Amino acid sequence: MPSRPSPVRLLTVLVLALLASGCADGHGGEVPGSASDAVDCSGSPYRTGSGNYDSGPEDVRDDARGALDDWLEQEGWSLPDVEWAEAARQGDEALFTWSSAGSVLAAFVVRDGTDGLDDHRGWGVASYAVCDPADWPPDKSDEIGVEVWTNADGDRVPAGYRAPFAVRGESGATASGQASHLDVSEQLPA
């Protein structure tokens, strides 16, 4: 006669089934308060913000992935077509990230309970942060037509790291701006 499964075995199977189906309360680490806390930029994030749910064009959605997809459709024209991984979910918050070579290059924190148009409540983008295109793989910045400054060695330089320069013209007038590379020997005192 076959033996009955033990209560521990039944509980283990139930927990594994819940985890496999995605019905568990959460996964991944904590969802940060701001997407800026999740990115690995070489400097400050290049672009930050949140969804615009007061007047659009975004609207809240019934699920976290839908809120991200809606934002990308409405506002994501300046981002490359990449895979967005759900890195963490805890309760009514989720973190979506784009990573390359072990660095998080962009992140979205989405939350349930966001007020949208027509008194609709649902999931919305609470915050996003995107690293400078100089931090991206070259094929991704090329994909959206972004030109990236390089230094004298050909290394990609984030916009915030461009060296200031001053050039003295023949008339003695001075012009200043941002250098296209960091070769200090070409910088003149202002």
Q: What is the pLDDT of residues 92-141, one digit of tens each?
A: 999 999 999 999 999 999 999 999 988 899 999 999 999 999 999 999 99
Mark whether 106 and 48 lie in a shared domain: yes
pLDDT at 64: 97
Distance CA 66, CA 93 (A): 13
Q: Which of 8-17, 43-52, 79-88, 120-129 shows the lowest mean pLDDT across its residues? A: 8-17
Mark whether 129 and 155 lie in a shared domain: no
**pTM for the full predicted model:** 0.72
Mark whether 126 and 175 lie in a shared domain: no
Residue 13 within any structural domain of the chain? no
Most confident among 18-32, 95-109, 148-162, 173-187 (mean pLDDT) = 95-109
Mark whether 31 and 113 lie in a shared domain: yes
What's the domain range around 173? 149-186
Distance CA 9, CA 180 (A): 65
Mark whether 159 and 105 lie in a shared domain: no
Mark whether 135 and 153 lie in a shared domain: no
Distance CA 26, CA 54 (A): 29
Please check whether residue 47 is in contact with residue 78, taking contact to mean a CB–CB distance below 8 angstroms: yes
DSSP 32: P
| Count of domains forming the chain | 2
Task: Supply 135's token pair.
Answer: 């931090």
